[in-house]
Chain A
Amino acid sequence: MIHPHRRMATTLLVVFGLTGGFVLGEEPDAVKPVPASEKNQGLSLFDSKILPVLKKHCYECHSKDSETIEGGLELDSPSGMLRGGDSGPMLEAHHADKSELLRMLRHEEDVSAMPPDEKLSDEVIAAFEEWIRLGAPDSRADNGPTAKEQRLEEAKRHWSFIPPQAVEPPSVAATDWPRNPLIDNFVLARMEAEGLKPTLDANRRTLIRRIYFDLIGLPPSPQDVDAFVADESPQAVEALVDRLLESPQFGERWGRYWLDVVRFAESSGMEFNFTYPHAWPYRNYVIDSFNADKPFDLFLREQIAGDLLPAEENESPEAAQSRRIALSMLSFGPKRHNSGGTEFQMDIADDQIDVVFKSSMAMTVSCARCHDHKFDPIPTKDYYALAGIFLSTEPLYGTIKQKYSNNPTDLLPIGKDAEAMHAAVVAYDKKFSEAEAAVAAKKKELTEATEAETLAAKEKTEAEELLTAITARVSAAQTEAETAADSEGATETEENAETESGTKPEADTDADTENQAEAQAAADGAGEATSEGAESDAVEADAAGKEATTKLEQAVAKLAEATARVAALKAELPKLEAAVAELKDKRPPAPQYAMTARDRAKPADTKLAIRGDFRNRGDVVPRGFLSAVNVPNAPTIDPAHSGRLELAQWITSPDNPLTARVMVNRIWSHLFGRGIVPTVDNFGVLGKPPTHPQLLDALALRFIEDGWSVKKMVRAIMLSRTYQLSSHVEQNNMKADPDNRLLWRQTPRRLEAEAIRDAILAVSGQLDLERPEASTVTGLGDKLARSIPLEKIQPPSRHRSVYLPIVRDYVPELFDLFDFPSPSLVTGQRSVTNVPSQALYLRNSSFVAEQARHAAERLLASAEATDDPHRVALAMRWALGRTPSEAETTAALQLIAEVKQASAAKAQEAAAAAKEAEAAKEGEKAAEGEEPKAAVEATADDGSANSGSIDAWSAWFLTLFTTAEFRYLVDIEA
């Protein structure tokens, strides 16, 4: 690791150390000082004025020895001074104006006032200014690395950054105990070392229920249980595990764990919450990947760089597509679609960095967005090296442009012939919009033509009027000219004419006015002519007349032309409209779409954002990975690409010390309720250390050896004796290790929301194991979640819980109550709470009540139990996988009797009321002389008996659903 600042400071120090003293009181501006003397002056000033102030006012909070180093700023060493704090350097040698330190000392706005309690004197502040101007020389020696550098170095030696070490399973005293040495020897050796003994093995009933829920998230049927209990083969467990690993329900169970980790959701969350109708293909991709046991390293690579991976040999189009669907992981994160620009992009990159590193390496890298990571060896520089990669990546999340949604993107068409279908849709949309545009254009033309026609008609009328006017005036002028020989009234006439013309009824349009002026001009000409001579008058009047005639002819022609054009356009329009109508309902089927991501056109490095503020940029940081994690033979980023491919390779390198450990730890935590590293999403300095570090390493190495096979790892753990322990409490162990860190038993585990719901549906016989088409959200379209009625977001469903829509802030009620994690946050391990709202849900909700009735109907229809005690037992076998004790049977029969009685009483009341009504009716009829009808009562009785039974048996199922045993994996009596 290079410490540029320290090196520079040391160099400066050497220079200063060799130079001599400084004369106080020397006027710095008087002589142009040579640099050496500047430094001398500065050093002297430092010793006399600066250092005492630092010691007195600053060291308490800003030195290696201070309790907490405030703002990461260390002022007790030259390198610390120059490096500055979390927000970067605070002084620039020779540039007082660029040094934030001075602004802080001056208690200026927008900076932290320092010292916070009292402002230093103006004289001292002036000394600081002068000292900076002189180059800020420092006479102190750097004694070792700063606390921050020390911490960084120490953090790099943190256990999780050191590659896993292969260790032979330790030998144990109880040699006959281990079943799978890879696991059991490590666990037992640790117990033996601490004086603990593993508890009893779990019985078959307990084991099959545990294995069913752990592998597929569903309860075993009574037949499954019976067969497993009866199977005496030592391979029974293995056979069961192998069978369930191959079941399609495996991926639905284990895929959901991954969906938690990548904060999968089908809406954008945040203050405006837009639906993501095309997020679901990723959900299916994850489930299918777990079912196919896709190597986990490849699974990760696909989600980070699926688009950039080379095609597998003979890769099917589906497989190629699924590599791109995998990238949805970078796109369905929570987003503020109302924002935009750099901030929007930086927030997305931040979310991507967070999800990629927490999910794969359990590192909280996004802490370094604003400052060097406080605990882990992740400098801000590393963050922006990664940010460059993700800012060079374009997330394709879809959405449409609407109010508060400013940034729609493309989507990935998927499915068979998707590209062709998408192209057809695009082509159709283009054609259709062109056809519509053609109609619109034609209509516009027609409007214009109609207007032109109107105008032409008007012009014609005007021309006619003009001609009439001229003809009239010419003849009048001729008459006047004839009389002019006798009188000299030409001028008068002229005036009269003008007056007459002027008093012509008000012109209401410009055209009229023009027309009027023309007529006037013509008349004037005629009038003038009178004073010249009658003959020439006549000629000219004739000319005006002719002109007007020509005009009229032209106007007539123009009108004819305009009328013809209108007619032609009118004739053309229906054809175009027909073309639109023809296309209208023929949009080719659109393909399915998925979210994805791709490289931007111009991948580039990004600049560091000081304190995370994108407006305040620092140096360009070359794209790269985490500097503290040493991965031999790490790929170099091709500058022409985003760098995602290389990042994915770096993360999934077998030499990456974290990735395999993190995943085996996740697997372990799902099978024991607690990880070997309890903080499954944080392997950093603040995370908890592994309880069995060697076991973790052994598993990680085995995982890699086994081709990153999740199924093999799950299988290996399940076939260990440790996994197959009972939950039986050994008092000595309990005292020594109440939290079961040493794995001396299986800790009872609460089922997750999904498993609880699926188990209820399985018991009621209502569970639909088919995968539903797309998602509920797909049908809702691109909407603001809040604009959708809740019952439309979460309509009733019989599908497995993994297929229920995950709209941020509007997850299904049962999920919300049973600790489903916030889908905006990366969650490797859910919290487990026991709160009354859960109890209320199980006791009172319409869903549970309805399923209890279905279960009762199923029970009553079952040929397996034909009397009540057997029904009590069968119901319990469905729900809990065991038969009831005598006391339980008695109590259950009591409950059933009580409910039946209540129902009978109710039915009797109803029947009595009905009878009364009937009697009244019959009475009326009898009065009219009709025969009374029989058997009404009997029918009613049958009906009520049946419904009473359903009431009663549903009460028993309700009871079973409410028990702890239903929602916890506990020991079951054999």
Chain B
Amino acid sequence: MTNDSSTPTISRRGWLKAASCGLGALTVTGLAPEGVSAGMLSPRESHFAPKAKRVIFLFMAGGPSQFESFDHKPALQAGGGKTGLKKGKLLAPLAKFAQHGESGMWVSDAFPHLAGQTDNICMLNAASAPSRAHPIAVPMMHTGAFQFVRPSLGAWVVYGLGTENQDLPGFFTIKPTRTFGGPSNYGSAFLPSTYQATRLGWEGQPVKNATIGNLASHHGLTASAASLSLKLAQMMNQPLVSQSEDVRGVIDSLELSDRMQSAVPKVLNIASESKETLDAYGIDAGRTDDFGRQCLLARRLVESGVRFVEVSSSGWDHHSNLDKFKSKAEEVDKPIAALLADLKQRGLLEETLVVWTGEFGRTPETQVLNGKETIGRDHNAEGFTVWMAGGGVRAGLTHGMTDELGYKAVEGEVVLPDLHATILHLLGLDHTKLVYRYGGRDFRLTNISGNVVHEIIA
């Protein structure tokens, strides 16, 4: 594994001493406050041998169109302008498709860079979700629920597996949205708050200026005075360990905070990256700069042992401005392609599951707004495209299909709980066993459904 950066390496330091509460212990204690303090983030055995050890979840908020990206529909191209099944006019795809790589996977010309990565990608062309309304679909995608506040996917994963680098939080979210559930989308709900994401920035804020709370101090002390203060506190803490194991948790968390204070800025500082790398991600190159930085940070975080990183891109809700799709795609295409290539080159892709998805996709028909036809498409949750890469998925596979016009999944449908179950499965977690008892019942991410899509697993 090449490592040209100053990324901190994975370390497992002393605070694991109290890491007695493995997965089993946690599942039975539920909300019990006893014993669940230190060691909650220490790495834990999965249910079975994992294919993936970490996840980068690329969330394209708004519902990107599959017809301009990854679902090649010649019949729709031919039928443009004709009346569709839902009485609207069919809208021919605004992008041209071609086959790429050894697999001959179809990718549109909106994603010229990703087209070069098809042999790493497993394309799911028949994903479906339970709702075509943003406010329901966004929380569903993130938590499997919308009627109730439930833990997010990342929180479940860190609860199940802990995290590898005890100097860093286990779950990061970069530039999440404040809408449609906002923080619940990366929250821990009834799981201990340890499992919620550490947030870097908000949607609409350049990631360049984003910071993580309380890493920088406000006390104005010199480094040596701050360190002396910490030492003194620890000196006072030490004798109390005999009264409570929890105090060990305090001691460890103080130690860890000290290490985090140097580790996090290091991992978030991309200055040490080579010019080639920065260029590859499209950093400092206009439209790709911001998302390029997000992707590079995601790589640096997982490389440092962070378990789950969500990266968000917003503005995919093309109701009337689908002509802008390509320029939206341009923002993420090069950065994502660079991310996959970079992970691969570093030997990380094999154990890093990259997931690309929106909350749903779009219809083959032209959107009519206020009685006027637009260049745009409405939401469609009955069939859309999600792709995965690395982490034990069958690279180069195109799985499932929608009908010839792309209204709904007709073959190899992957419903949302299946998607969640499969992600957990790749991480070595059985979605029916990853449970947490709250309010008298065992809860799980997939609630009462979910089937692992074994066909897409290598």
A825 at the interface (CB under 8 A from B): yes
Q: Assess the B236–A833 pair: CB atoms within 8 A.
A: no
Q: Assess the A895–B232 pair: CB atoms within 8 A.
A: yes
The 4 closest A-B pairs by CB, nearest first: A834-B249, A839-B257, A271-B135, A364-B440
A849 at the interface (CB under 8 A from B): yes
Q: Which residues of B contact A133 (CB under 8 A)?
A: none
Q: A272-B135, A849-B220, A959-B229 are in contact. Are A686 and B437 (CB under 8 A)?
A: yes
Q: Assess the A750–B230 pair: CB atoms within 8 A.
A: no
B102 at the interface (CB under 8 A from A): no
Q: Assess the A895–B193 pair: CB atoms within 8 A.
A: no
Q: Assess the A891–B232 pair: CB atoms within 8 A.
A: yes
Q: Assess the B440–A852 pair: CB atoms within 8 A.
A: no
**Cβ contacts B110-153/A at 8 Å (1 or 0 each):** 00000000000000000000000001101100000011110000
| Known interface pairs A813-B213, A959-B230; 14 further A-B residue pairs with C-beta atoms within 8 A, sorted by A's residue number | A364-B441, A375-B440, A673-B33, A684-B440, A747-B34, A748-B240, A809-B183, A831-B31, A831-B36, A848-B218, A895-B225, A895-B232, A898-B225, A967-B250
A428 at the interface (CB under 8 A from B): no
Question: From B196, which residue of chain A is reached at the shortest CB distance?
Answer: A816
Stretch of B91-99, B184-192, B276-284, B375-383 that contacts chain A: B184-192
Q: Assess the B236–A832 pair: CB atoms within 8 A.
A: no
Q: Assess the B190–A835 pair: CB atoms within 8 A.
A: no
Stretch of B173-181, B318-326, B385-393 that contacts chain A: B173-181
> CB < 8 Å: which of B139, B256, B440 contacts A687?
B440
Within B177-229, the residues touching A (CB, 8 Å) are 178-184, 187, 189-190, 192-194, 198, 213-222, 224-226, 228-229
By the criterion of a CB under 8 Å from any partner CB, how many residues of chain B are at the interface?
77
For B190, B236, B247, the residue with the greatest tally of chain A CB atoms inside 10 Å of its CB is B236
Question: From B139, which residue of chain A is reached at the shortest CB distance?
Answer: A271
B244 at the interface (CB under 8 A from A): yes
A285 at the interface (CB under 8 A from B): no
Q: Which residues of B contact A729 (CB under 8 A)?
A: 242-243
Q: Complex Cα distance A826/B438, Å?
A: 10
A100 at the interface (CB under 8 A from B): no
For B146, B182, B183, B219, the residue with the greatest tally of chain A CB atoms inside 10 Å of its CB is B219
B252 at the interface (CB under 8 A from A): yes
Within B225-276, the residues touching A (CB, 8 Å) are 225-226, 228-230, 232-233, 235-237, 240, 242-244, 246-247, 249-254, 256-258, 260-261
B169 at the interface (CB under 8 A from A): yes
> CB < 8 Å: which of A347, A837, A846, A960 contacts B169?
A837
Q: List 15 A-B contacts (CB under 8 A).
A: A269-B149, A271-B135, A334-B149, A375-B440, A681-B439, A687-B440, A825-B439, A832-B246, A835-B193, A837-B214, A843-B254, A848-B218, A852-B219, A951-B220, A959-B232
Q: Complex Cα distance A838/B256, Å?
A: 11
Q: Assess the B250–A834 pair: CB atoms within 8 A.
A: yes
Question: From B178, which residue of chain A is reached at the shortest CB distance?
Answer: A786
Within B1-59, the residues touching A (CB, 8 Å) are 30-38, 40-41
Q: B residues touching A (Cβ–Cβ < 8 Å)?
A: 30-38, 40-41, 135-136, 138-139, 146-149, 169, 178-184, 187, 189-190, 192-194, 198, 213-222, 224-226, 228-230, 232-233, 235-237, 240, 242-244, 246-247, 249-254, 256-258, 260-261, 437-441
Q: A849-B219, A899-B225, A902-B225 are in contact. Are A965 and B237 (CB under 8 A)?
A: yes
For B35, B136, B214, B260, the residue with the greatest tally of chain A CB atoms inside 10 Å of its CB is B214
Q: Which residues of B contact A271 (CB under 8 A)?
A: 135-136, 138-139, 146, 179-181
Q: How far is the CB of A111 from chain B (nearest CB, A)?
A: 14
Q: Complex Cα distance A67/B195, Å?
A: 34
Q: Which residues of A contact B187 (CB under 8 A)?
A: 809, 822
A283 at the interface (CB under 8 A from B): no
Q: Which residues of B contact A358 (CB under 8 A)?
A: 439
Q: A836-B256, A836-B257 are in contact. Are A964 and B214 (CB under 8 A)?
A: no
> CB < 8 Å: which of B37, B219, B437 contacts A958?
B219
Q: Assess the A748–B244 pair: CB atoms within 8 A.
A: yes
Q: A673-B33, A748-B244, A955-B229 are in contact. Are A844 and B219 (CB under 8 A)?
A: yes
> CB < 8 Å: which of A272, A817, A850 contacts B193?
A817
> CB < 8 Å: which of B30, B34, B228, B254 contacts A898?
B228
A756 at the interface (CB under 8 A from B): no
Q: Assess the B240–A686 pair: CB atoms within 8 A.
A: no
Q: Complex Cα distance A716/B194, Å?
A: 36
Q: Complex Cα distance A891/B229, Å?
A: 9
A954 at the interface (CB under 8 A from B): yes
Q: Which residues of A contact B441 (CB under 8 A)?
A: 364, 367, 374, 686
Q: Assess the B214–A968 pair: CB atoms within 8 A.
A: no
Q: Complex Cα distance A272/B249, Å?
A: 37
For A727, A816, A962, the residue with the greatest tally of chain B CB atoms inside 10 Å of its CB is A962
Q: Complex Cα distance A878/B225, Å?
A: 22
Q: Assess the A832–B440 pair: CB atoms within 8 A.
A: no
Q: Assess the B219–A894 pair: CB atoms within 8 A.
A: no
> CB < 8 Å: which of B38, B149, B184, B222 contacts A902?
B222
Question: From B439, which residue of chain A is reached at the shortest CB distance?
Answer: A364
A830 at the interface (CB under 8 A from B): yes
Q: Assess the B34–A748 pair: CB atoms within 8 A.
A: no
Q: How far is the CB of B232 from chain A (nearest CB, A)?
A: 5
Q: Complex Cα distance A833/B41, Å?
A: 11
Q: Assess the B33–A830 pair: CB atoms within 8 A.
A: yes
Q: A684-B440, A898-B224 are in contact. Are A958 and B243 (CB under 8 A)?
A: no
Question: From B222, which residue of chain A is reached at the shortest CB distance?
Answer: A902
Q: Assess the B215–A840 pair: CB atoms within 8 A.
A: yes
Q: Assess the A376–B236 pair: CB atoms within 8 A.
A: no
Q: Assess the B214–A840 pair: CB atoms within 8 A.
A: yes
**Cβ contacts A207-242/B at 8 Å (1 or 0 each):** 000000000000000000000000000000000000
Q: Which residues of A contact B244 (CB under 8 A)?
A: 727, 747-748, 968, 970
> CB < 8 Å: which of B33, B190, B254 contacts A832?
B33
Q: Assess the B440–A376 pair: CB atoms within 8 A.
A: yes
Q: Which residues of A contact B438 (CB under 8 A)?
A: 825
Q: Which residues of B contact A898 (CB under 8 A)?
A: 224-225, 228
